[in-house]
Structures are given as C-alpha cells and as structure tokens.
C-alpha cells in the first residue's frame, strides 16, 4: 500500500502548460520530497496526485489501480494542511475526529483512532483543549492527527511548516521524520527549502518549470547533480 505511479501526467491552465507530460514512481513507504523554486508546479503536482486538480492528460495509479478519475476522498490519501486550517471553536478531539465524522464512522472506532493518533503525537493530555490554547507545534500536530486517523496509504504535505518560526520548523521536521519512521507510510512532502529536502527525504524530486530535473537520494544529488540547475539549487542554501 502506498505506491503511486504517474504516467505521462500533465496539467494546463487554459493555454498555459504548467506541467508537461511527466513520469514518476513513488515507492511504498518512501519519504519523497518535491523541491523547486516558487511557481515551478510543486503544489499543482501534489494536487493532481490528491485529485484536487483534474489532469489534462496521462494516468495516475495508486496501489496498482487506475486512480486518474477517482475523486479525492476515495483515493486513500490524506493531505496535511497548515495548522491554521483547524476549527478554532472545536476541541482538539473534535478537530482530529472531523474527517471520520464526515465519513459517518462508528463512534467507538472514531474514539479508538483519535486516541491512537493522539498517543503517537503526544497530544493525549490536550484532547479537550481548543486550538487557541495550544502552542504552534501542538497545533501543527493536531493538523497531522487529522490525517493520521484516516489511516491513509500516503500522506501529502504542501509546505506545512512555512508559517512557523525557524526554531519550531526545525522541531516539526523532526516530528514528521519520526512519524514516518513509526508509521512507515508513504509521504510526499512539498517544499521550496533545500535544507528541508536534504534532511528529510529518502528521495528528492527536483522540479523546474514543471519539468523533473533529477530524481535521487540527497547524497546522489549532492555528489552527482545532473546539471547546473540542480547543482545550484541543492548547493546553495537560502
């Protein structure tokens, strides 16, 4: 579970081809980072995988099944949003349980999953609080908890830490890496931050103007960048 294959997937907005036909395979359990400058198509690619955008051409397979026209909620993937997407008037428990409530899941099963996620994320003592009573890091963990309870075959993150201060960002990177180690679930993580990519990824996908410039482990990209763009991008931290 958690293998995602893009086969000549492409995306145009009107006359503008933002992503020319592109192939990519993400293996089960892999932590893959899409990295590239602002506007290069990272979010669009992630949204195509999530089903939040319709592709203009090509196919997406998830766990060997054609998911190209499968609606987002049925793809078995969970997108993690920034913590400001939490409902301020709801408790942590209700925020985390929200997607399961919407899916009309049985209450005992909801409780079991919420408590399991809270335990993994060290939020057990905070389930009755509201987001406003939590630290920034705790709020981001609640946003992640909301994805965990869906037991997805892959987690999709779109720059989840970009509105956090530098110190908290470092801590949250560790939290997410730790979560990946524990769950061993496929994660796709979008960032424009080279340091984040180099420190978190099993596999990095470097994008420029919707085109994959190189795919490889952080060490492969560091030792053998395929071109000047990759060398400059990976070699020059912000």
- Residue 208 interacts with which of ligand ADP, Mg ion, none, CB < 5 to 8 Å by class: none
Contact call for residue 44 and ligand ADP (CB under 6 A): yes
Three-state SS for 22?
strand
Dmax (CA) for the chain in angstroms is 55
d(CA 14, CA 36): 23
Contact residues toward Mg ion (CB under 5 A) are 43
Calculate the dihedral angle through the C-alpha atoms of 189, 190, 191, 197, rounding to the nearest 10 degrees.
40
Q: Which does 87 bind (CB under 5 to 8 A by kind): ligand ADP, Mg ion, none?
A: none
Least distance to ligand ADP from the beta carbon of 44, Å?
A: 3
The C-alpha atoms of residue 74 and residue 66 are separated, in whole angstroms, by 12
* Closer residue to Mg ion, CB minimum distance, 145 or 160: 160
* Cα(118)–Cα(112) distance, integer angstroms: 10
Q: Smaller CB distance to Mg ion: residue 43 or 177?
A: 43
Asked if residue 51 binds ligand ADP (CB under 6 A), the reply is: no
Residues 13-32 that bind ligand ADP (CB under 6 A): 13, 18
- Our CB check for ligand ADP shows the closer of 40 and 201 to be 40
């Amino acid at each position: 579970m958690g293998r995602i294959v893009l086969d000549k997937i492409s995306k145009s907005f009107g006359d503008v081809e933002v992503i020319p036909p592109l192939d990519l395979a993400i293996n089960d359990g892999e932590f893959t980072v899409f990295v590239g400058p602002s506007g290069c198509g990272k979010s669009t690619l992630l949204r195509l995988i999530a089903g939040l955008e319709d592709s203009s051409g090509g196919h997406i397979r998830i766990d060997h099944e054609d998911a190209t026209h499968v609606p987002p909620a049925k793809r078995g993937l969970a997108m993690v949003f920034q913590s400001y997407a939490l409902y301020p008037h709801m408790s942590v428990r209700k925020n985390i349980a929200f997607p399961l409530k919407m899916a009309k899941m049985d209450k005992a099963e909801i409780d079991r999953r919420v408590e399991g996620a809270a335990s993994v994320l060290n939020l057990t003592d905070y389930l009755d609080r509201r987001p406003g009573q939590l630290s920034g890091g705790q709020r981001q963990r609640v946003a992640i908890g909301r994805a965990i309870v869906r037991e997805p075959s892959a987690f999709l993150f779109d720059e989840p830490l970009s509105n956090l201060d530098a110190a908290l960002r470092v801590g949250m990177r560790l939290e997410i890496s730790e979560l990946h180690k524990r769950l061993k679930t496929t994660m796709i993580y979008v960032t424009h931050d080279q340091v984040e990519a180099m420190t978190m990824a099993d596999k990095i996908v470097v994008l420029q103007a919707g085109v994959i410039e190189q795919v490889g482990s952080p060490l492969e990209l560091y030792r053998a960048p395929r071109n000047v763009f990759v060398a400059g991008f990976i070699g020059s931290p912000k």
